[in-house]
Amino acid sequence: MSDEQSHLFYQSRQPRPFLDHGEGVYLYDEQGKRYIDGSSGAMVSNIGHSNPRVLAKMKAQMDRATFGYRLHFRTRPSEDLAAKVASLMPEGLDRVFFVSGGSEAVETAMKLARQYAVTQGQGSRWKVISRLPSYHGATMGSLGVTGSPLFTGPFAPMFEEMPKIAAPTAYLDRDSLSDEERGLKYAEMLREKIEAEGPDTVLAFLMEPVGGASTGALVAPDSYYTRVAEICAEYGILLIYDEVMTGAGRTGKFLAAEHWGITPDIVAMSKGFGAGYAPLGAVVARGDMVEALLDAGGFLHGFTYAGNPLACAAGLAVLEEMEAHDIIGNAARMGDVLKSRLTGLMDRYPFIGDVRGKGLLLAFELVSDRDTMKVLPKEWNANVELVELAYERGLIIYSRRTRGGYEGDHFLVCPPLIITEPQIGEIMEILTDALDAFAANHDLPVIE
């Protein structure tokens, strides 16, 4: 088959070179061109590519068994990984259910919440309030909570659209509130929504603690996190953190929830948890919730590949690697370095409106006017153009246009958590070159 033909189909027709191999923070195509992976793929490759110690542990498991169905056998890798995950979680979150990806994790979290409510005699509760914009997955159930018209649009009649509140896009606000007041203002929207929907019908509130692809590393004011948790507790509503992107160290702590001392009732993880070595995700829940389900006959849910020993061996090896090399500590340290370097770009490019994020989940946003945060003309397709300019130059970054309430061009710069300072220098050099080219294409000012 020629390289031009393909029987695969994905989102776009955009041709991409064939990947040859990866090493650390770099990827190489078949022509030998090197790319620095400035987005860890889709915020996945947290410990970098082709880690020999992880591969050796996977190989050892492959030589024993690559599959054992969970109704027929327990497996050491899944037990050991569950114990390791529980040890890394906030107190009380100690029961783990494995899945193969982020959408499955979100589906599982919602079904667990619902079945638990039913066992508690609270069958009237079924609505999962989420936020706009947000991204929670591509399956029908997760589309119902995803606040992104781009992804939900054509499928709208086929799933249950869940109630949404505005994501705390506080960086766009031009009011005189303090940060704390602004956080409380957004949290109050949750209370209003619960009241409007009827508290007895609301099952859970689902949020990305730091936004991902939909909002570009959106961080709320600190007061938001605490007040949201208080409101959920007050109304007996389960708090679900979607840590599919933020979990497993991406923000400089194992869970982003730790930054605010929050213990959600349920956490969904994937992406950096398998770190690209295996399709893997996990849902972690409060022990008493799981016990209630088991007492009532068990969780009516499961996927064939869930908890398979090869994926779990990979996940365990990834977590061991993180611990052995203080990779999460590195994410926190290098996150500070990268964030200040990105913030520094604002002096050179007046069209960078905002730099935000936590740890190595960082983003910048391009605008026509920094003071008003007026977006760039839509027809420029800046989110595509800048990514291509960087790609040509050997840097991979990730972008989507924010949709749902606000349409801005944000760019995620989220390298593997093993990144070093000189490698951050490489990212910045290529990014500056790409931004210069972008400015030249559109006659935008550059301050030398």
**CB of 142: closest distance to ligand PMP in angstroms?**
7
Among 213, 314, 319, 363, binds ligand PMP (CB under 6 A): 213
Instruction: Pick the closer one to ligand PMP by CB: 167 or 352.
Output: 167
> Binding marks (x or -) toward ligand PMP, 393..432, rule CB under 6 A?
----------------------------------------
Instruction: Pick the closer one to ligand PMP by CB: 101 or 408.
Output: 101
Tokens of residue 25, six digits: 């923070």
Instruction: Pick the closer one to ligand PMP by CB: 245 or 322.
Output: 245
Residues 8-47 close enough to bind ligand PMP by CB under 6 A:
42
Instruction: Pick the closer one to ligand PMP by CB: 24 or 212.
Output: 212
Distance spanning both ends of the chain, measured CA to CA = 49
CB contact set of 21 (below 8 Å; sequence gap of 6+): 27, 28, 49, 50
Among 212, 274, 357, 415, binds ligand PMP (CB under 6 A): 212
Range in contact with ligand PMP (rule: CB under 6 A) among 72-80, 149-157, 186-194, 206-214: 206-214
Buried b (16+ CB within 10 A) or exposed e, 43-68: bbbbbbbebeebeebbeebeeeeeeb
Instruction: Pick the closer one to ligand PMP by CB: 273 or 438.
Output: 273
Instruction: Pick the closer one to ligand PMP by CB: 102 or 249.
Output: 102
Instruction: Pick the closer one to ligand PMP by CB: 308 or 423.
Output: 308
- Residue 35, SS3? strand
Residues 307-326 close enough to bind ligand PMP by CB under 6 A:
none
415: left (phi over 0), alpha (psi -120 to 50) or beta: beta
The closest residue (CB) to ligand PMP is 102
Tokens of residue 417, six digits: 């958590």
- Residue 2, SS3? coil
Among 210, 244, 275, 387, binds ligand PMP (CB under 6 A): 244
- Matching residue, tokens 């990212």: 427
**CB of 124: closest distance to ligand PMP in angstroms?**
27
**CB of 63: closest distance to ligand PMP in angstroms?**
28
Instruction: Pick the closer one to ligand PMP by CB: 306 or 367.
Output: 306
Candidates 380, 222, 350, 41; CA nearest to 365 is 350
**CB of 279: closest distance to ligand PMP in angstroms?**
8
Residues 88-147 close enough to bind ligand PMP by CB under 6 A:
101-103, 106, 135-138
Q: Is 353 in the site for ligand PMP (CB under 6 A)?
A: no
- Matching residue, tokens 């990834």: 318
Among 217, 245, 322, 431, binds ligand PMP (CB under 6 A): 245
Instruction: Pick the closer one to ligand PMP by CB: 24 or 247.
Output: 247
**CB of 127: closest distance to ligand PMP in angstroms?**
19
**CB of 240: closest distance to ligand PMP in angstroms?**
11
| Alpha-carbon distances of 412 from 317, 358, 401, 409, rounded to whole Å | 27, 12, 11, 10
Instruction: Pick the closer one to ligand PMP by CB: 42 or 262.
Output: 42
Instruction: Pick the closer one to ligand PMP by CB: 212 or 221.
Output: 212
**CB of 281: closest distance to ligand PMP in angstroms?**
7
| Alpha-carbon distances of 329 from 47, 248, 264, 372, rounded to whole Å | 12, 12, 23, 36
CA dist., res. 244 & res. 107, Å (int): 12
Among 242, 354, 365, 409, binds ligand PMP (CB under 6 A): 242
Tokens of residue 124, six digits: 């009237």
Buried b (16+ CB within 10 A) or exposed e, 232-271: beebebbbbbbbbbbbbbbbbbbbbbbbeebbbbbbbbbb
Instruction: Pick the closer one to ligand PMP by CB: 241 or 364.
Output: 241
- Matching residue, tokens 């590393």: 217
> Binding marks (x or -) toward ligand PMP, 269..298, rule CB under 6 A?
-x----------------------------
| Strands lying side by side in the sheet with 395-396 | 19-23, 26-29, 34-37, 395-396
CB contact set of 293 (below 8 Å; sequence gap of 6+): 112, 115, 116, 119, 299
| Alpha-carbon distances of 202 from 188, 238, 270, rounded to whole Å | 16, 9, 26
Phi, psi of 396 (to 5 degrees): -100, 120
**CB of 244: closest distance to ligand PMP in angstroms?**
4
CA dist., res. 235 & res. 191, Å (int): 9
Residues near ligand PMP (CB under 6 A), total: 16
Residues at the site binding ligand PMP, with contacts judged by CB under 6 A:
42, 101-103, 106, 135-138, 208, 212-213, 242, 244-245, 270
